[in-house]
Amino acid sequence: MEKRELGIYVHIPFCARKCAYCDFLSFPAGKNVQQDYFYALQKEIASFVPSGDYEAVSVYFGGGTPSLPDPGQIAWTLDVIRETFAVRKDAEITIECNPGTLDRHRLETYKRAGFNRLSIGLQSADNTLLETLGRIHTFETFRREYRQAREAGFDNISIDLMYGLPNQTLSSWKDTLEKITELDPEHVSAYSLIVEEGTPFWDRYHEDDEEKRRGGRPLFLPDEETEGQMLELLKSSLLDIGICRYEISSYAKPGYESRHNTGYWLKREYAGFGLGASGQIRDFRYRNPSRLEGYLNHAQPDGYVEEKTFLSGEDEISETMILGLRMIRGVDLQRFEERFHVRAEDLFKDVIDRFRKAGLLEITDHHLHLTDRGLDVSNLVMCEFL
Protein backbone atom coordinates (compact mmCIF):
# COMPACT_ATOMS: atom_id res chain seq x y z
CA MET A 1 0.00 0.00 0.00
CA GLU A 2 1.22 3.47 -0.82
CA LYS A 3 2.22 5.56 2.13
CA ARG A 4 0.10 8.61 2.85
CA GLU A 5 2.04 11.84 3.21
CA LEU A 6 1.46 13.72 6.44
CA GLY A 7 2.45 17.06 7.87
CA ILE A 8 2.75 17.41 11.63
CA TYR A 9 2.07 20.66 13.45
CA VAL A 10 2.96 21.18 17.11
CA HIS A 11 1.68 24.27 18.89
CA ILE A 12 3.76 25.93 21.61
CA PRO A 13 1.53 28.68 22.98
CA PHE A 14 4.08 30.45 25.16
CA CYS A 15 5.61 33.82 24.41
CA ALA A 16 7.64 36.38 26.33
CA ARG A 17 5.07 39.11 25.77
CA LYS A 18 1.90 39.46 23.73
CA CYS A 19 2.43 41.62 20.63
CA ALA A 20 0.07 44.46 19.78
CA TYR A 21 -1.12 42.91 16.49
CA CYS A 22 -1.17 39.24 17.53
CA ASP A 23 -4.40 37.23 17.54
CA PHE A 24 -2.71 33.84 17.78
CA LEU A 25 -3.25 31.53 20.68
CA SER A 26 -0.29 32.56 22.79
CA PHE A 27 0.49 33.97 26.21
CA PRO A 28 3.33 34.27 28.74
CA ALA A 29 3.41 31.44 31.28
CA GLY A 30 5.51 30.30 34.24
CA LYS A 31 7.89 27.34 34.29
CA ASN A 32 5.45 24.99 36.03
CA VAL A 33 2.71 25.57 33.51
CA GLN A 34 5.20 24.96 30.71
CA GLN A 35 6.26 21.73 32.38
CA ASP A 36 2.64 20.52 32.60
CA TYR A 37 2.03 21.55 29.03
CA PHE A 38 4.89 19.52 27.61
CA TYR A 39 3.79 16.53 29.63
CA ALA A 40 0.29 16.74 28.16
CA LEU A 41 1.61 17.45 24.67
CA GLN A 42 3.94 14.47 24.62
CA LYS A 43 1.19 12.26 25.94
CA GLU A 44 -1.16 13.51 23.25
CA ILE A 45 1.36 12.77 20.50
CA ALA A 46 2.22 9.33 21.89
CA SER A 47 -1.43 8.35 22.07
CA PHE A 48 -2.13 9.23 18.42
CA VAL A 49 -3.40 6.22 16.54
CA PRO A 50 -2.72 6.64 12.83
CA SER A 51 -5.64 5.53 10.71
CA GLY A 52 -3.41 4.45 7.86
CA ASP A 53 0.13 4.02 6.78
CA TYR A 54 1.40 7.55 7.18
CA GLU A 55 4.79 9.02 6.51
CA ALA A 56 5.59 12.43 7.91
CA VAL A 57 7.16 14.67 5.29
CA SER A 58 7.25 17.79 7.46
CA VAL A 59 7.15 18.74 11.10
CA TYR A 60 6.49 22.29 12.22
CA PHE A 61 6.77 23.69 15.73
CA GLY A 62 4.81 26.93 15.72
CA GLY A 63 3.60 29.33 18.32
CA GLY A 64 3.66 31.50 20.35
CA THR A 65 7.40 31.31 20.59
CA PRO A 66 8.66 27.71 20.48
CA SER A 67 12.17 29.03 21.08
CA LEU A 68 11.15 30.40 24.48
CA PRO A 69 10.71 27.23 26.60
CA ASP A 70 13.43 24.81 27.63
CA PRO A 71 15.02 23.52 24.39
CA GLY A 72 15.38 20.10 26.01
CA GLN A 73 11.58 19.82 26.13
CA ILE A 74 11.37 20.75 22.47
CA ALA A 75 13.95 18.16 21.53
CA TRP A 76 12.20 15.53 23.61
CA THR A 77 8.85 16.33 21.98
CA LEU A 78 10.43 15.84 18.56
CA ASP A 79 11.74 12.47 19.79
CA VAL A 80 8.22 11.47 20.79
CA ILE A 81 7.07 12.37 17.27
CA ARG A 82 9.73 10.19 15.76
CA GLU A 83 8.72 7.32 18.03
CA THR A 84 5.06 7.66 17.05
CA PHE A 85 5.32 8.47 13.35
CA ALA A 86 7.48 7.36 10.50
CA VAL A 87 9.28 10.64 9.86
CA ARG A 88 10.93 10.60 6.47
CA LYS A 89 14.70 11.04 6.51
CA ASP A 90 14.54 14.10 4.31
CA ALA A 91 11.54 15.58 6.14
CA GLU A 92 11.52 19.36 6.63
CA ILE A 93 11.58 20.01 10.37
CA THR A 94 11.01 23.65 11.31
CA ILE A 95 10.97 25.53 14.55
CA GLU A 96 9.59 29.05 14.79
CA CYS A 97 11.88 31.36 16.75
CA ASN A 98 11.66 34.90 17.93
CA PRO A 99 14.72 37.10 18.22
CA GLY A 100 15.70 37.81 21.79
CA THR A 101 15.15 34.21 22.83
CA LEU A 102 17.86 32.47 20.83
CA ASP A 103 21.39 31.58 21.92
CA ARG A 104 24.12 29.14 20.93
CA HIS A 105 22.96 26.47 23.36
CA ARG A 106 19.41 26.49 22.07
CA LEU A 107 20.41 26.52 18.45
CA GLU A 108 22.78 23.63 18.90
CA THR A 109 20.15 21.66 20.80
CA TYR A 110 17.64 22.15 17.98
CA LYS A 111 20.20 21.16 15.41
CA ARG A 112 21.15 18.01 17.32
CA ALA A 113 17.50 17.11 17.83
CA GLY A 114 17.02 17.12 14.06
CA PHE A 115 15.50 20.50 13.25
CA ASN A 116 16.76 21.58 9.84
CA ARG A 117 14.86 24.80 9.27
CA LEU A 118 14.35 27.97 11.33
CA SER A 119 11.60 30.50 10.84
CA ILE A 120 12.54 33.69 12.63
CA GLY A 121 10.01 36.41 13.33
CA LEU A 122 11.94 39.57 12.69
CA GLN A 123 8.97 41.63 11.36
CA SER A 124 11.02 44.79 10.77
CA ALA A 125 14.56 46.11 10.91
CA ASP A 126 13.28 49.46 12.17
CA ASN A 127 13.69 49.49 15.95
CA THR A 128 11.02 52.16 16.45
CA LEU A 129 8.51 50.04 14.58
CA LEU A 130 9.53 46.96 16.56
CA GLU A 131 8.66 48.86 19.68
CA THR A 132 5.29 49.91 18.25
CA LEU A 133 4.55 46.28 17.48
CA GLY A 134 5.36 45.32 21.06
CA ARG A 135 8.32 43.13 20.11
CA ILE A 136 11.00 42.41 22.71
CA HIS A 137 13.96 42.62 20.36
CA THR A 138 15.97 45.05 18.23
CA PHE A 139 17.32 44.45 14.76
CA GLU A 140 20.81 44.12 16.21
CA THR A 141 19.71 41.29 18.48
CA PHE A 142 18.19 39.54 15.51
CA ARG A 143 21.32 39.93 13.40
CA ARG A 144 23.52 38.49 16.13
CA GLU A 145 21.26 35.49 16.61
CA TYR A 146 20.83 34.97 12.87
CA ARG A 147 24.60 34.71 12.53
CA GLN A 148 24.75 32.28 15.43
CA ALA A 149 22.17 30.16 13.67
CA ARG A 150 24.30 30.05 10.56
CA GLU A 151 27.27 29.09 12.70
CA ALA A 152 25.23 26.33 14.29
CA GLY A 153 24.76 24.92 10.81
CA PHE A 154 21.25 26.03 9.84
CA ASP A 155 21.28 26.43 6.08
CA ASN A 156 17.54 26.90 5.63
CA ILE A 157 16.31 30.00 7.40
CA SER A 158 13.11 31.90 6.84
CA ILE A 159 12.58 35.46 7.99
CA ASP A 160 9.12 36.84 8.79
CA LEU A 161 8.46 40.45 7.88
CA MET A 162 5.49 42.78 8.13
CA TYR A 163 4.62 45.83 6.10
CA GLY A 164 1.84 48.35 6.00
CA LEU A 165 2.61 49.03 9.67
CA PRO A 166 1.54 52.11 11.61
CA ASN A 167 3.73 55.06 10.67
CA GLN A 168 5.86 52.87 8.43
CA THR A 169 7.35 54.79 5.51
CA LEU A 170 8.50 53.51 2.18
CA SER A 171 12.09 54.42 3.06
CA SER A 172 11.92 52.53 6.35
CA TRP A 173 10.66 49.47 4.46
CA LYS A 174 13.41 49.90 1.88
CA ASP A 175 15.97 49.98 4.66
CA THR A 176 14.55 46.79 6.18
CA LEU A 177 14.70 45.03 2.82
CA GLU A 178 18.29 46.13 2.26
CA LYS A 179 19.32 44.77 5.64
CA ILE A 180 17.53 41.49 4.97
CA THR A 181 18.92 40.86 1.54
CA GLU A 182 22.37 41.43 2.95
CA LEU A 183 21.80 38.44 5.25
CA ASP A 184 20.81 36.29 2.27
CA PRO A 185 18.08 34.10 3.79
CA GLU A 186 16.58 31.14 1.89
CA HIS A 187 12.98 32.10 2.59
CA VAL A 188 10.95 35.17 3.50
CA SER A 189 7.34 35.42 4.65
CA ALA A 190 6.03 38.95 4.33
CA TYR A 191 2.58 39.91 5.54
CA SER A 192 0.81 43.17 5.12
CA LEU A 193 -0.61 44.01 8.51
CA ILE A 194 -4.13 42.80 9.12
CA VAL A 195 -5.71 44.44 12.10
CA GLU A 196 -7.37 41.52 13.88
CA GLU A 197 -10.20 41.76 16.35
CA GLY A 198 -9.20 41.35 19.98
CA THR A 199 -5.77 42.93 19.58
CA PRO A 200 -4.62 46.32 20.93
CA PHE A 201 -4.18 47.40 17.30
CA TRP A 202 -7.84 46.70 16.62
CA ASP A 203 -8.90 48.93 19.48
CA ARG A 204 -6.67 51.74 18.30
CA TYR A 205 -7.72 51.35 14.69
CA HIS A 206 -11.41 51.51 15.54
CA GLU A 207 -11.09 54.55 17.73
CA ASP A 208 -11.03 56.30 14.41
CA ASP A 209 -14.29 54.84 13.16
CA GLU A 210 -15.62 58.12 11.90
CA GLU A 211 -12.72 58.43 9.51
CA LYS A 212 -13.30 54.88 8.34
CA ARG A 213 -16.96 55.53 7.59
CA ARG A 214 -15.94 58.30 5.26
CA GLY A 215 -14.15 55.67 3.22
CA GLY A 216 -10.63 56.51 4.28
CA ARG A 217 -8.35 54.43 6.43
CA PRO A 218 -7.36 55.85 9.76
CA LEU A 219 -4.47 58.20 9.36
CA PHE A 220 -1.78 56.25 11.10
CA LEU A 221 -1.66 53.36 8.61
CA PRO A 222 0.10 53.81 5.26
CA ASP A 223 -2.37 54.38 2.43
CA GLU A 224 -3.11 51.75 -0.19
CA GLU A 225 -0.88 53.47 -2.70
CA THR A 226 2.12 53.23 -0.39
CA GLU A 227 1.26 49.68 0.57
CA GLY A 228 1.16 48.75 -3.10
CA GLN A 229 4.61 50.29 -3.58
CA MET A 230 5.87 48.35 -0.56
CA LEU A 231 4.77 45.10 -2.14
CA GLU A 232 6.49 46.00 -5.42
CA LEU A 233 9.67 46.93 -3.57
CA LEU A 234 9.53 43.64 -1.65
CA LYS A 235 9.19 41.56 -4.80
CA SER A 236 12.00 43.29 -6.66
CA SER A 237 14.43 43.38 -3.72
CA LEU A 238 14.00 39.68 -3.06
CA LEU A 239 14.27 38.83 -6.72
CA ASP A 240 17.70 40.49 -6.69
CA ILE A 241 18.96 37.75 -4.36
CA GLY A 242 17.14 34.98 -6.23
CA ILE A 243 14.09 34.76 -4.02
CA CYS A 244 10.76 34.39 -5.84
CA ARG A 245 7.20 34.79 -4.66
CA TYR A 246 5.53 31.37 -4.60
CA GLU A 247 2.46 32.16 -2.49
CA ILE A 248 0.53 35.31 -1.56
CA SER A 249 2.86 36.05 1.36
CA SER A 250 5.72 33.55 0.84
CA TYR A 251 9.01 33.98 -1.02
CA ALA A 252 11.84 31.47 -1.42
CA LYS A 253 14.93 30.50 -3.33
CA PRO A 254 14.06 27.66 -5.70
CA GLY A 255 13.88 24.40 -3.74
CA TYR A 256 13.45 26.18 -0.40
CA GLU A 257 9.70 26.65 -0.55
CA SER A 258 8.26 25.65 2.82
CA ARG A 259 7.18 22.06 2.39
CA HIS A 260 5.08 22.15 5.49
CA ASN A 261 3.04 25.17 4.46
CA THR A 262 2.84 24.03 0.85
CA GLY A 263 1.21 20.92 2.29
CA TYR A 264 -1.70 23.03 3.55
CA TRP A 265 -2.17 24.69 0.17
CA LEU A 266 -2.03 21.38 -1.65
CA LYS A 267 -4.44 19.85 0.83
CA ARG A 268 -2.08 17.27 2.17
CA GLU A 269 -3.28 15.63 5.40
CA TYR A 270 -1.87 16.99 8.62
CA ALA A 271 -1.94 16.15 12.29
CA GLY A 272 -2.03 18.95 14.84
CA PHE A 273 -0.90 18.64 18.44
CA GLY A 274 -1.08 21.03 21.33
CA LEU A 275 -3.39 23.74 22.54
CA GLY A 276 -5.91 24.82 19.91
CA ALA A 277 -4.06 22.93 17.18
CA SER A 278 -5.94 21.79 14.09
CA GLY A 279 -5.49 18.72 11.98
CA GLN A 280 -7.03 17.14 8.98
CA ILE A 281 -7.02 13.39 8.69
CA ARG A 282 -8.97 11.85 5.85
CA ASP A 283 -12.40 13.51 5.72
CA PHE A 284 -12.21 15.16 9.08
CA ARG A 285 -10.81 18.42 10.27
CA TYR A 286 -10.51 18.72 14.02
CA ARG A 287 -9.40 21.26 16.54
CA ASN A 288 -8.05 20.80 20.05
CA PRO A 289 -9.46 22.79 22.95
CA SER A 290 -8.11 26.32 23.07
CA ARG A 291 -8.41 26.76 26.82
CA LEU A 292 -5.30 25.62 28.61
CA GLU A 293 -7.11 23.95 31.51
CA GLY A 294 -9.33 22.04 29.17
CA TYR A 295 -6.36 20.88 27.21
CA LEU A 296 -4.30 19.82 30.22
CA ASN A 297 -7.20 17.88 31.74
CA HIS A 298 -7.99 15.86 28.67
CA ALA A 299 -4.68 14.13 28.36
CA GLN A 300 -6.21 10.90 27.12
CA PRO A 301 -6.66 9.43 23.67
CA ASP A 302 -9.34 11.21 21.70
CA GLY A 303 -10.14 13.37 24.69
CA TYR A 304 -8.46 16.38 23.16
CA VAL A 305 -10.64 17.04 20.20
CA GLU A 306 -13.02 19.92 20.78
CA GLU A 307 -14.39 20.32 17.30
CA LYS A 308 -14.60 17.81 14.51
CA THR A 309 -15.90 18.74 11.10
CA PHE A 310 -16.62 16.39 8.27
CA LEU A 311 -15.42 17.65 4.93
CA SER A 312 -17.75 16.77 2.10
CA GLY A 313 -16.63 16.30 -1.46
CA GLU A 314 -17.78 19.85 -2.12
CA ASP A 315 -15.72 21.17 0.77
CA GLU A 316 -12.68 19.36 -0.58
CA ILE A 317 -13.21 20.87 -4.00
CA SER A 318 -13.70 24.43 -2.79
CA GLU A 319 -10.73 24.19 -0.43
CA THR A 320 -8.59 22.78 -3.23
CA MET A 321 -9.46 25.87 -5.23
CA ILE A 322 -9.15 28.59 -2.61
CA LEU A 323 -5.98 27.18 -1.05
CA GLY A 324 -4.45 26.27 -4.40
CA LEU A 325 -5.04 29.77 -5.73
CA ARG A 326 -2.93 31.15 -2.90
CA MET A 327 0.08 29.72 -4.71
CA ILE A 328 1.57 31.66 -7.60
CA ARG A 329 1.72 28.47 -9.62
CA GLY A 330 -1.99 27.99 -8.97
CA VAL A 331 -4.23 24.95 -8.99
CA ASP A 332 -2.91 21.94 -10.89
CA LEU A 333 -5.86 21.23 -13.18
CA GLN A 334 -4.73 17.73 -14.13
CA ARG A 335 -4.34 16.74 -10.51
CA PHE A 336 -7.73 18.24 -9.79
CA GLU A 337 -9.37 16.12 -12.46
CA GLU A 338 -7.59 12.95 -11.28
CA ARG A 339 -8.74 13.55 -7.75
CA PHE A 340 -12.31 14.70 -8.28
CA HIS A 341 -13.13 13.12 -11.68
CA VAL A 342 -14.43 16.42 -12.97
CA ARG A 343 -12.67 19.25 -14.73
CA ALA A 344 -12.36 22.44 -12.67
CA GLU A 345 -12.62 24.36 -15.96
CA ASP A 346 -16.10 22.85 -16.45
CA LEU A 347 -17.26 22.95 -12.86
CA PHE A 348 -16.37 26.63 -12.45
CA LYS A 349 -16.72 27.66 -16.06
CA ASP A 350 -18.68 30.88 -15.48
CA VAL A 351 -16.48 32.11 -12.68
CA ILE A 352 -13.25 31.28 -14.48
CA ASP A 353 -14.45 32.91 -17.71
CA ARG A 354 -15.56 36.03 -15.88
CA PHE A 355 -12.32 36.47 -13.96
CA ARG A 356 -10.15 35.66 -16.95
CA LYS A 357 -11.96 38.37 -18.82
CA ALA A 358 -11.47 40.76 -15.91
CA GLY A 359 -7.75 39.96 -15.92
CA LEU A 360 -7.69 38.36 -12.49
CA LEU A 361 -7.22 34.70 -13.47
CA GLU A 362 -5.11 32.95 -16.05
CA ILE A 363 -4.45 29.39 -17.09
CA THR A 364 -0.79 28.62 -17.73
CA ASP A 365 0.65 25.20 -18.25
CA HIS A 366 -2.46 23.36 -16.94
CA HIS A 367 -2.51 25.51 -13.84
CA LEU A 368 -5.24 27.96 -12.95
CA HIS A 369 -3.62 30.89 -11.20
CA LEU A 370 -4.22 34.48 -10.13
CA THR A 371 -2.59 37.31 -12.04
CA ASP A 372 -0.66 40.03 -10.17
CA ARG A 373 -3.82 42.12 -9.99
CA GLY A 374 -5.76 39.00 -9.01
CA LEU A 375 -3.38 38.37 -6.12
CA ASP A 376 -4.12 41.84 -4.75
CA VAL A 377 -7.85 41.16 -4.67
CA SER A 378 -7.76 37.40 -4.26
CA ASN A 379 -10.67 37.28 -1.81
CA LEU A 380 -12.95 38.58 -4.52
CA VAL A 381 -12.01 35.65 -6.73
CA MET A 382 -11.75 32.96 -4.07
CA CYS A 383 -15.17 33.48 -2.57
CA GLU A 384 -16.70 32.59 -5.93
CA PHE A 385 -15.25 29.10 -5.64
CA LEU A 386 -17.08 28.39 -2.41
Name the residues that contact another protein, by CB under 8 A.
7, 9, 11, 62, 191-192, 194, 213, 215, 224-225, 227-228, 248-249, 261, 264-265, 270, 272, 276-280, 285, 287, 309, 318-319, 322-323, 326, 358, 360, 375-380, 382-384, 386
User: Could you tell me where the beta strands, DSSP code E, fall in 17-80?
Assistant: 54-63
CB of 211 to another protein, least distance (A): 13
CB of 175 to another protein, least distance (A): 22
What lies within 8 Å, CB to CB, of 255 at 6+ separation is none
Residue 149 or 322 with smaller CB distance to another protein: 322
Reading phi first (left if > 0) and then psi (alpha if -120 to 50, else beta), residue 123 is in: left
Residue 329 and residue 285: Cα distance in Å, rounded?
26
CB of 149 to another protein, least distance (A): 22
What lies within 8 Å, CB to CB, of 22 at 6+ separation is 196, 199
3-state secondary structure of 126: coil
Residue 318 and residue 56: Cα distance in Å, rounded?
25
Residue 180 and residue 313: Cα distance in Å, rounded?
43
Residue 188 or 277 with smaller CB distance to another protein: 277
Name the strand (E) or helix (H) holding 381.
Answer: helix 378-382
CB of 50 to another protein, least distance (A): 17
Residue 267 or 366 with smaller CB distance to another protein: 267
Residue 87 or 322 with smaller CB distance to another protein: 322
Residue 150 or 287 with smaller CB distance to another protein: 287
3-state secondary structure of 211: helix
CB of 210 to another protein, least distance (A): 11
